[in-house]
C-alpha cells in the first residue's frame, strides 16, 4: 500500500496551533505519531507546548531524553527512528523527509505530513525542493493550503 504524503502550507496559523490538532486526529484514528524537527532546541519548545496548549487537554508525548520511547503515543525526535511504531510522521520546519523515503522503514507509515510556514523563506524553499524530489520519484503527493475561513483546501 502506498504512503500518503501531504504537504501543509501554513499561512494563517503557526505550527503551534496546527500541530496539536493533527496529532489529536492521529490518535483518534488509532495511530501513534512522530514529530521530526531539525533541532533539539525546537523539540524542547514543542515538548513544553504540547503539555499546555489547551486548558481542556494535553497530548501525552515524549522524547529520547524521557525514556520509554516505545510507550509514547507521540514521539518527538530529530532522527529517522520509529521507536513507538508510529503510522503517522510529521516533518516540521524543514526536517528531511527525502532521506527517510529512501529508507526501507518508510513503508511502515500510512501517512507522512510536511508542515511548512509560508511566511518563512527558508522553509518555503526547503518544502518546494522536497516536493520536487518526491514528485520525481513518482510518489503520491497532496498539497493542502489554509483558506480564508481557516479550512484546509486540497490544491494539488
pLDDT at 43: 93
List, for residues 57-70, the tens digit of each pLDDT value.
Answer: 888 898 988 888 99
Cα(19)–Cα(120) distance, rounded to whole angstroms?
17
Between 106 and 27, the more confident residue is 27
Cα(130)–Cα(149) distance, rounded to whole angstroms?
28
Give the count of domains, the chain. 1
Query: How many helices and strands, by DSSP H and E, does the chain display?
Result: 4, 8
Domain that holds residue 140: 4-154
Q: Can you say how many angstroms the Cα of residue 57 is from the centroid of all Cα atoms in its chain?
A: 20
Indicate the pLDDT class of residue 53, thresholds 50, 70 and 90: confident
Task: Give me the CATH number covering residue 25.
Answer: 3.40.50.10110
Phi, psi of 92 (to 5 degrees): -120, 150
Cα(120)–Cα(42) distance, rounded to whole angstroms?
15
Cα(78)–Cα(60) distance, rounded to whole angstroms?
18
Q: Are strands 33-36 and 152-154 parallel, antiparallel or unpaired?
A: unpaired
What global pTM score does this model have? 0.93
Amino acid at each position: 500500500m502506498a504512503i500518503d504524503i501531504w504537504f501543509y502550507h501554513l499561512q494563517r496559523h503557526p505550527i503551534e496551533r496546527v500541530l496539536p490538532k493533527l496529532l489529536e486526529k492521529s490518535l483518534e484514528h488509532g495511530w501513534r505519531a512522530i514529530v521530526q524537527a531539525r533541532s533539539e532546541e525546537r523539540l524542547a519548545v514543542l515538548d513544553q507546548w504540547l503539555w499546555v496548549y489547551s486548558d481542556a487537554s494535553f497530548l501525552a508525548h515524549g522524547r529520547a531524553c524521557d525514556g520509554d520511547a516505545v510507550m509514547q503515543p507521540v514521539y518527538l525526535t530529530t532522527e529517522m527512528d520509529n521507536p513507538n511504531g508510529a503510522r503517522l510522521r510529521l516533518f516540521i520546519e524543514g526536517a528531511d523527509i527525502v532521506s527517510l523515503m529512501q529508507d526501507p522503514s518508510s513503508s511502515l507509515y500510512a501517512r507522512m505530513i510536511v508542515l511548512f510556514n509560508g511566511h518563512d523563506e527558508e522553509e518555503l524553499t526547503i518544502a518546494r525542493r522536497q516536493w520536487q524530489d518526491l514528485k520525481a520519484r513518482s510518489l503520491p503527493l497532496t498539497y493542502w493550503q489554509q483558506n480564508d475561513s481557516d479550512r484546509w483546501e486540497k490544491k494539488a
